Amino acid sequence: MQNKKHTSWLQIPAVQTLLASLLCIVAGVLIGYIALLIINPSGATEAILTVLKNFWTYSRPKTQLKYLGSTLVKTAPLLMCALSVLFAYKVGLFNIGAAGQYVAGAGASLYCALALQLPWWVCLLAAIVCGALLGAISGALKAYCNVNEVISCIMLNWISLYTVNTLLSQVKDPTSPYTLNLKRTNAAAALPSLGLEKLFNNNANVTIAIPLAILCAIAIWVLLAKTRLGYELRATGLNRHAAKYCGMRGKFNIILAMAIAGALAGAGAAMLYLTGFEEWSCTQSSVPAMGFNGIAAAFLGGLSPIGTIFASFFIQHITNGGAYVDKTMYCSQISDFISSVIIYLCGFVLFIRRFMNSRIAKANEEKLLPKDDAPIKTKGRILGGICVALAIFDIIDTIMLGLSLNISIVRLSIGNMDSAFIMLYVLLVIAWATLVIVGFLTRKRQLFLIAGITVTIVALISITHTAAPIGRAALTFIAYARMKIPAKSAKGGDKQ
């Protein structure tokens, strides 16, 4: 009989990416919520819910559909920038120049539309060509001069920005710093909608850019996973010297990969500016964030073209939702702060996947240990799991405290404590919970020792109810002791 290998569902890449992405999103929302609690606790809940709701803040379904369309309009260019970063990364290159290629695409498409009065498909092709040329320059410098693509891309980002500002100043509105209105100046340059605007309550900005971006994501997946060219590009990214030894054109593949990446970012700019949704500001002194947000979208999607579609929508969703936060309670930058925290944590998806794979590999190795270790290790895991459950409960309870709910156990423990001590109490509880969760996931028993000391301090500053923190301290210290592997077990493992 042949032994069949049973693969754990946690070993499936798609499942790992989904779990890692959800963990990053939850962590980002929690950190943003804690920041809102510190600034102004009374409006924190409404603010974080507003960010997550976005167009659902409106009560009328037709209005919701209209603003959903606006979110999708900006999702299309973000998806193209994410695909640009993803494609280059698959070939072993980090395309931080997606922002500059996006700028080049915007300049080419708008100049062709406003100055040359060309139709939309020519403007789109011009954006693709200019983005590809800019990407190919970085690729050629990498291939022939061994110039790091990150350095060359950063330099080209700023060169592109000021070049486009100068170029588009020729088609600028005399009364404002923005370019002329696209639809009034050259209606033929606007992307066609093919009736899609009717699905979103006649939102005139909804065009074929949305389905085009999705088709591009599918095409990139097919190219990388199902074609010979995609195999050669991925092989070059994994080991350029081995690929050259096998007869693959290493330098050509690097230039081609960066050119394709640049073309994607350039097309993304055209998909936004040829809708008439925005005009270009000829006085802007910073590179648009769209290209950099594409990095987060690519990693949140697990570097999968299909996953990147959903990741791009989520990032644009919370970015738009941040604009609805009440500015009378929080400064105007708070929405950008919350969105940036979530976007920043989205970049850790690959690290979490790598950690999950290492834990699975270590768990498989532990199956080879002597059976005498099992009861002791199992007790340690059970006690650690109980600590984690209590830690999650304490985090939720702390949130209830922030919501000013009387059902919070923390509220009962602190009594009429001074506000400074309340903040110290809350921070110590969060620190204990974080140490326990991280220590359990990484199996670093030293973190349980630090967590035990932390929750002991919590017990000392409690006023009315000290039983809960004392119980947590005792359980944490016992879990710390039980997680130790006896020396005889290690010797037994060596004998095997």
pLDDT value of position 167: 94
> How many angstroms separate the CA atoms of 453 and 51, rounded?
37
23-62 tens-digit pLDDT? 878 877 888 888 888 788 788 888 888 888 888 888 888 8
Q: Is residue 98 scored above 50 in pLDDT?
A: yes
pLDDT value of position 122: 95
- 421: confidence class by pLDDT, cuts 50, 70, 90: low
Q: Is residue 140 scored above 60 in pLDDT?
A: yes
- 488: confidence class by pLDDT, cuts 50, 70, 90: very low
258-315 tens-digit pLDDT? 999 999 999 999 999 999 898 999 999 889 989 888 988 888 888 889 989 998 998 8
> Which of 154-158, 192-196, 272-276, 350-354 has the weakest average pLDDT?
350-354
232-248 tens-digit pLDDT? 888 887 777 787 788 88
238-241's contacts with Cβ under 8 Å and 24+ in sequence apart are 238/92, 240/92
Side chain identity, residue 390: L
- 484: confidence class by pLDDT, cuts 50, 70, 90: low
Side chain identity, residue 188: A
> Which of 19-23, 89-93, 102-106, 273-277 has the weakest average pLDDT?
19-23
> How many angstroms separate the CA atoms of 257 and 135, rounded?
8
pLDDT value of position 250: 82
Q: What is the mean pLDDT of the chain?
A: 80
CA of 133: how far to CAs of 104, 159, 168, 267, in Å?
A: 9, 14, 19, 13
> How many angstroms separate the CA atoms of 247 and 228, rounded?
13
pLDDT value of position 492: 44
- 82: confidence class by pLDDT, cuts 50, 70, 90: very high
Max mean pLDDT among 47-51, 105-109, 180-184, 398-402 falls in: 105-109
pLDDT value of position 432: 76
- 368: confidence class by pLDDT, cuts 50, 70, 90: low
pLDDT value of position 129: 96
pLDDT value of position 170: 93
Q: Nearest Cα to 484, choosing from 383, 359, 362?
A: 383
Q: Is residue 87 scored above 90 in pLDDT?
A: yes
Q: Nearest Cα to 347, choosing from 302, 287, 291, 310?
A: 302
Q: Nearest Cα to 298, choosing from 282, 315, 276?
A: 315
pLDDT value of position 201: 87
